[in-house]
Amino acid sequence: MEKQKYNLCLEVLRRMKKEGVLDKILLVGSWCVPLYEDYFKNKGCLPPLRTRDVEFLFPLPFNLERNTDLFELLKDLGFVLDYKGEQGYITFQHPDLILEFLVPARGKEPDKPVPIDALSINAQALRFMDALARNPIQMLFDDIKVNIPHPVDFALHKLLIAHRRKQKEKAEKDRGQAVALLRALNESAETETVRDVFQAMPKSWRKTIEQELLDLKEEKTLGLIKET
Amino acid sequence: MAIKSVLKEELANSLRMKKRYEKELSKLLKGSINKRNIKGYEYYYLVYRENGKFKAEYKGKSISARELEKYSQAKELRSKYRKNLSQLKKQILYLKGALRGKAEV
């Protein structure tokens, strides 16, 4: 089952790469986690829980040299198109994978789906997404280069959004991933990068992250990133 | 706890997806085009099943490539959607069992 999911995801990435889409977007969410394990060269250092949701972040503005109908590109893999929630965000659904599209929230109507005309889809606008796209890194998903958020951005973003989650369990999962990543970053001597990113954040964001780490009794980690 | 929540979410997704596949299947062109050679002449028929009975509808001595392609694509998608629907039904049974504590998570 996992192999089937992985192969389908790989084929989706391959087709998006061929159309020049993949180079302009970031893979975010739980599908990044195995790539972080590769980044730290430490399999099993992060919580393994991964859902079917594969999330792609589109930095704005998003343009392509040649427009592509993304659904038509993937339809023959067996995906069906669905509209999620009251707002009607487009998702591509398959028993093995659910593809979701995200953009950073902007403007006065942040809940409204944002059209991505170049791909004939719309995307869900979410807050703090800019923080994820700040400094992407490239990792190999099999033989395909994909952009993913820097692990520092991924970890701090998880702490920023955890308390906003409606589901307690999802918040717990966010916190668990964030702490595991921060520990891995500290162990791989990247504490300074974490500190720099943290210090450059707006005060209100820093306060949220500090509180999260205090609640998690991660005073040691907090001490490391606050140290000047 | 987190696993239970993930399973619940996956079940909701699978149930929703099942409906979507059923809807997409109902929207697809029904049947497939069958070419028959009768006494050296070619005739095209649309063949399908209705209420468990085999039906063949005469389409003519020729058929446009576009129409053939449409039926061929529909046939391919129908096969994929049916396979996915069957997979979803198994997933739903498994997830319901796991949430009741009967299946191994």
As a dihedral over the C-alpha atoms of residue A28, residue A31, residue A34, residue A38, rounded to 10 degrees, the angle is: -40
pTM for the model stands at 0.87
Mean of pLDDT values over A107-120 = 84
pLDDT for B2 equals 64
> Residue B3: closest CA among chain A residues belongs to which residue?
A49
CB pairs under 8 A between A and B: 54
Nearest CA in chain A to B76: A76
Beta-strand pair A98-104/A53-57: parallel
| Nearest alpha carbon to residue A93 among A121, A124, A52, A57 | A52
Structure confidence by residue, pLDDT tens digits, B34-91: 989 999 999 999 999 888 899 999 999 988 999 999 999 999 999 999 999 999 999 9
| Reported ipTM | 0.79
Per-residue pLDDT at A227: 65
CB contacts, 8 Å: B13 with chain A? 52, 93, 98
The answer to whether A196 touches A227, Cβ cutoff 8 Å, is no
Handedness of CA A181, B13, A82, B73 (dihedral sign): positive
Q: How far is CA B86 from CA A7, A18, A23, B42, B94, in A?
A: 19, 31, 35, 37, 13
pLDDT, one tens digit per residue, over A183-199 is: 999 888 888 899 999 99
**DSSP states of chain A as a string?**
-HHHHHHHHHHHHHHHHHTT-GGGSEEESGGGHHHHHHHTT-TTSS-----SEEEEE-PSS---SS---HHHHHGGGT-EEEEETTTTEEEEE-SS-EEEEEEE--SS-TTSPEEEGGGTEEEEEETTHHHHSSS-EEEEETTEEEEE--HHHHHHHHHHHHTT-SSHHHHHHHHHHHHHHHHHHHHTT-HHHHHHHHHTS-HHHHHHHHHHHHHTT-HHHHHHHH--
CA distance B103 to chain A (A): 16
Residues A124-128 have a mean pLDDT of 91
Contact A93 B17 (CB under 8 A): yes
Q: In 3D, which of B100, B102, B86 has the Cα closest to residue B14? A: B86
User: Which of A80, A96, A170 comes nearest B20 by C-beta?
Assistant: A80
Residues in chain B closer than 8 A to A76 (CB atoms): 76-77, 80
* CA-based nearest residue to B7, from B81, B93, B83, B82: B93
- Taking 60 as the threshold, does the pLDDT of residue B103 lie above it? no
Closest-CA residue of B relative to A79 is: B81
Structural tokens at position A136? 């992407």
**Residue A158 pLDDT more than 90?**
yes
**How much is the mean pLDDT over chain A?**
90
Nearest CA in chain A to B84: A95
| Whether the predicted pLDDT of A51 surpasses 90 | no
Give the pLDDT confidence of B7-38 residue by residue, as tens digits. 888 899 999 999 999 999 999 998 889 989 99
Which residue from A78, A170, A173 is facing B80, i.e. has the nearest CB?
A78
Confidence of residue A228 (pLDDT cuts 50, 70, 90): low
Q: How confident is the model at residue B102, as a pLDDT?
A: 55
How far is residue B50's CA from residue A184's CA, in Å, rounded to a whole number?
A: 61
The verdict on a CB contact (< 8 Å) between B20 and A172 is: no
Check residue A30 and give its pLDDT.
87
CB contact under 8 A, B81 and A80: yes
Do the beta carbons of residue B3 and residue A49 sit within 8 Å? Answer: yes
